[in-house]
Structure 1
Amino acid sequence: MRAIVLITLLAGAATGAVAQTAPQQQPAAASADRPEIGDFGFDLAGRDTSVAPGKDFYDYANGDWQKVTQIPADRSAYGMFHRLQDLSQQRLRSLLEEVAKQPGNKSGDFYTSFMDEAAINAKGATPIKPWLAAIKATKDRRALAIEAAKMQRYGVSGLFSAGVGQDDKNPDAYIVGLSQGGLGLPDRDYYLKDDAKLAETRTAYQAYLTRMLELAGEPDAAKRAAAVFAFEKALAGVHWTRIESRDADKTYNKFAFADLAQRAPGFDWSDFAKAAGMPVTGDYLVAQPSALTGEAKLWAETPLAVLKDHLMLHVIGSYARFLSSDFDKTRFAFYGTTLSGTPEQQARWKRGSDLVKNELGEDIGRAYVAKYFPPEAKAAADDLVKNVITAMGERLRKLEWMAPETKQKALAKLATFRPKIGYPVKWRDYSALEVKRDDLVGNVARANEFDFQRDLNKLGKPVDRGEWFMTPMEINAYYNPPMNEIVFPAAILQAPFFDPKADPAINYGGIGAVIGHEISHGFDDQGRKYDAHGKLTDWWTAQDVERFKGFTDKLVAQYDAYEPLPGQHVQGALTLGENIADLAGLTVSIDAYHASLGGKPAPVLDGTTGDQRFYLGWAQVWRVKMREPMLRQSLLTDPHAPGHQRVLTVRNLDPWYGAYNVKAGDALYLAPEARVRIW
Structure 2
Amino acid sequence: MPIAPPLLLTSGQRLRALLPALGLLVAVVAGGPVGCAPDPDGDAARSPGTGLGIDQAAMDKTVKPGDDFYGYANGSWMRAAVIPDDKSQLGAFDTARERTEEQLTRLVDDIVKGDAPPDSDPGRIKTYYTAYVDTRSIDAAGLAPVRPALARFAAIRDVAALSRVLGAQLRADVDPLNNTHFHTENLFGLFVTQSLSGSAVMPYLLQGGLGLPDRDYYLSDKPRLAAIRTRYRAYVADLLTAAGLPDAAGRADRVVALETRIAQAHATAEQSADFQTAATEWTRADFARKAPGIAWDGFFAEAGLASQERFVAYHAAPIARLSALVAREPLEAWQDWLVFHELNRNADVLPSRLDQLHFAFYGTVVEGRTAQRPRPRRGIDALNAALGEPLGKLYVEQYFPARAKAEIEGMVSEIKQAFAQRIARLDWMAPTTRDEALAKVRSIVVGIGYPDRWSDMSGLVLQPGRAYANKQAAELFRTRQQLAKLGKPLDRREWWMNPQLVNAVNLPVQNALNFPAAILQRPFFDPGADPAFNYGAIGAVIGHEISHSFDNNGAAFDAAGKLRNWWSEADLARFRRSSRALVLQYNAYRPFPDLPLNGELELGENMADVAGLAAAYDAYRASLKGKEPPVIEGFTGDQRFFIAYAQAWQSKMRDEALRARVATNGHAPAPYRALTVRNIDAWYRAFDVQPGDRLHLPESKRVRIW
- The alignment's TM-score, normalised by the length of structure 2, stands at 0.91
Q: CA deviation at 1:402?
A: 1.3
Match of 1:435 in 2: 462
Match of 2:626 in 1: 599
Match of 2:192 in 1: 164
Match of 2:24 in 1: none
Q: CA deviation at 1:176?
A: 1.2
Is 1:143 paired with 2:171? no
Is 1:117 paired with 2:144? no
Q: Deviations over 1:223-246 (max 9, x none)?
A: 211111111111111211111111
**Counterparts in 2 of 1:34 and 1:459: CA distance versus 1, 3 Å:** closer
State the one-letter code of the partner of 2:146: I
Structure 1 residues 241-260: aligned runs within 5 Å: 241-260=268-287
Match of 1:15 in 2: 12
Unaligned 5+ segments in structure 1 are 19-32
Is 1:481 paired with 2:481? no
1:151/1:315 contact within 8 Å kept: no
State the one-letter code of the partner of 1:217: G
Match of 2:41 in 1: none
Q: CA deviation at 1:281?
A: 4.5
Determine which of 287, 292, 295 is the counterpart of 2:322.
295
What count of residue pairs does the alignment treat as equivalent? 658
Q: CA deviation at 1:460?
A: 1.0
Q: Deviations over 1:575-605 (max 9, x none)?
A: 0000000001110111100011111111101
1:154/1:446 contact within 8 Å kept: no
2:48/2:530 contact within 8 Å kept: no
Is 1:551 paired with 2:578? yes
State the one-letter code of the partner of 1:158: N
Q: CA deviation at 1:157?
A: 4.4
2:193/2:490 contact within 8 Å kept: no
Match of 2:407 in 1: 380
1:11/1:623 contact within 8 Å kept: no
2:556/2:566 contact within 8 Å kept: yes
**Counterparts in 2 of 1:587 and 1:34: CA distance versus 1, 3 Å:** closer
Q: Distance in 1 between matches of 2:172 and 2:453?
A: 26
Q: CA deviation at 1:158?
A: 2.6
Match of 2:82 in 1: 70
**Structure 1 stretch displaced more, 5-14 or 226-235:** 5-14
Match of 2:23 in 1: none
Identity of aligned residues (%): 43
**Structure 1 stretch displaced more, 217-226 or 564-573:** 217-226
1:188/1:239 contact within 8 Å kept: yes
Determine which of 670, 674, 677 is the counterpart of 1:643.
670
Q: CA deviation at 1:58?
A: 0.4
Q: CA deviation at 1:248?
A: 1.4
Q: Distance in 1 between matches of 2:669 and 2:191?
A: 30
Query: Which consecutive aligned stretches of 4+ in structure 1 deviate over 6 angstroms post-superposition?
Result: none
Match of 1:61 in 2: 73
Q: Distance in 2 between matches of 1:106 and 1:158?
A: 27
Q: SS of 1:670's equivalent?
A: coil
Say what the alpha-carbon RMSD is for the aligned residues: 1.7
Q: Distance in 2 between matches of 1:60 and 1:479?
A: 31
Q: Deviations over 1:363-386 (max 9, x none)?
A: 121111011001001001111101
Determine which of 350, 360, 367 is the counterpart of 1:340.
367
State the one-letter code of the partner of 2:110: E
Determine which of 106, 109, 131 is the counterpart of 1:97.
109
Q: Deviations over 1:294-320 (max 9, x none)?
A: 111122111110011111111111111
Q: CA deviation at 1:566?
A: 1.9
Match of 2:58 in 1: 46
State the one-letter code of the partner of 1:6: P
Q: CA deviation at 1:549?
A: 0.6
Match of 1:233 in 2: 260
Determine which of 398, 402, 425 is the counterpart of 2:452.
425
Q: Deviations over 1:60-119 (max 9, x none)?
A: 100110000001111000111111111111111111111123252111111111111111
1:174/1:458 contact within 8 Å kept: yes
Q: CA deviation at 1:330?
A: 0.8
Q: CA deviation at 1:676?
A: 0.5
- The alignment's TM-score, normalised by the length of structure 1, stands at 0.95
**Structure 1 stretch displaced more, 141-150 or 192-201:** 141-150
Q: Distance in 2 between matches of 1:34 and 1:627?
A: 37
Q: Deviations over 1:94-147 (max 9, x none)?
A: 111111232521111111111111111111221111101110121112112212
Q: Distance in 2 between matches of 1:91 and 1:268?
A: 48
Q: Distance in 2 between matches of 1:591 and 1:71?
A: 36
Q: CA deviation at 1:409?
A: 0.8
State the one-letter code of the partner of 2:263: A
Match of 1:28 in 2: none
Unaligned 5+ segments in structure 2 are 17-46, 174-183
State the one-letter code of the partner of 2:142: G
State the one-letter code of the partner of 2:392: G
State the one-letter code of the partner of 1:131: A
